[in-house]
Amino acid sequence: MPLTKMSPLLLKAEEEGYAVGSFSVANMEMVLGVLKAVEETKSPAILQIAEVRLKQSPLEAIGPLMVAAAQNCSMPVAVHFDHGKTESKIRQALDIGFTSVMYDGSHLPFEENSAITARVKSIAGEYGADCEGEIGCVGGSEDGSEDIAVNCTSPVQAKSFAVITGVDALAVAIGNAHGNYKQAPKLRFDILEETASLVDVPLVLHGGTGILPDDFRKCVSLGIRKINIATATFDSVQNSVKAAYESGKIKGYYDLQEAEVNGAYENAMKHIEIFGCAGKGILN
């Protein structure tokens, strides 16, 4: 199955009532672990990296790896540039072969966010790629460096934003936040339900780490079609490596590598089951 765009994955999810996992990766081991789970469960998936993570994982190094891995997977996999902040990095991701990009203007006034997102949508279109936007402000920050307050999405503004920008997917804020929650979040399912009734494009949930399985399933039932998982992947890899050292399983580098792959694999397996996308990897 060749590398695919994000939109057919999300449209099929919309038709059949499940969500596609969008897994943040930082190295080859995480990519291998996620795609091992994808192959075993016959699931669609999205590999992603956020612009704030590029200090640790330079785009020119990890980007081609992500694209090549997706191209060689038997299941449909999109490669996504998450939380793009600058046009130069968004273009670099598209030049590398990413099949979707996100511009995150959620911190900007509505008019400015709409205008820049529409421009990024046009740029993505030049490459035959998809574009995700965000309306409302998801709490926290992608790299944990900021404590950004949640500003829940206005369903009416979401409808206008989708029309103005023409985005292929729309991230909404319903009480969700990036990073580890100090306590289980209280999600605004009423906002999600109203937004889904007004907006014609697939909806995206950021800040998936720490959301309870039943809350994930309710979000899916109300219209969420892409769920971002970042911190949970990094935590799972770290915990897998720690456990392998403590149990004496790591005798050298390749044992360390195996522990990293296993951490990403176990995390992806868990979320694929919750999101209901197992067995959905065959596109019509």
What are the extents of the domains in the chain? 6-275
Do the Cβ atoms of 111 and 81 come closer than 8 Å?
no
pLDDT the model gives residue 1: 60
Share of the chain above pLDDT 70, in %: 92
In this predicted structure, the answer to whether residue 143 has a pLDDT above a threshold of 90 is no
- How does pLDDT run across 104-127, given as a tens digit for each residue? 998 899 999 999 999 999 999 999
pLDDT the model gives residue 145: 43
- How does pLDDT run across 2-34, given as a tens digit for each residue? 799 999 999 999 999 999 999 999 999 999 999
**50 contacts: CB under 8 Å, gap ≥ 6:** 24, 81, 82, 83, 142, 143, 230
For residue 276, give the nearest of 213, 229, 230, 231 by alpha carbon.
Answer: 213
Mean pLDDT of 174-181: 65
- Among 82, 104, 130, 215, the one annotated catalytic: 82
Confidence band for 136, pLDDT divided at 50, 70 and 90: confident
Q: How is 186-241 classified by DSSP, letter by letter? A: ---HHHHHHHHHH--S-EEE---TT--HHHHHHHHHTTEEEEEE-HHHHHHHHHHH
Mean pLDDT of 163-192: 82
The H-or-E segment that residue 166 falls in is none
In this predicted structure, the answer to whether residue 148 has a pLDDT above a threshold of 90 is no
Do the Cβ atoms of 4 and 77 come closer than 8 Å?
yes
In this predicted structure, the answer to whether residue 53 has a pLDDT above a threshold of 50 is yes
pTM attached to this predicted model: 0.92
| Annotation marks residue 255 as catalytic | no
Where are the extended beta strands (E) located within 76-215?
77-84, 100-103, 130-135, 169-172, 203-205
The fold of 6-275 is TIM Barrel (3.20.20)
- How does pLDDT run across 178-230, given as a tens digit for each residue? 554 555 667 899 999 999 999 999 999 998 777 899 999 999 999 999 999 99
Do the Cβ atoms of 47 and 79 come closer than 8 Å?
yes
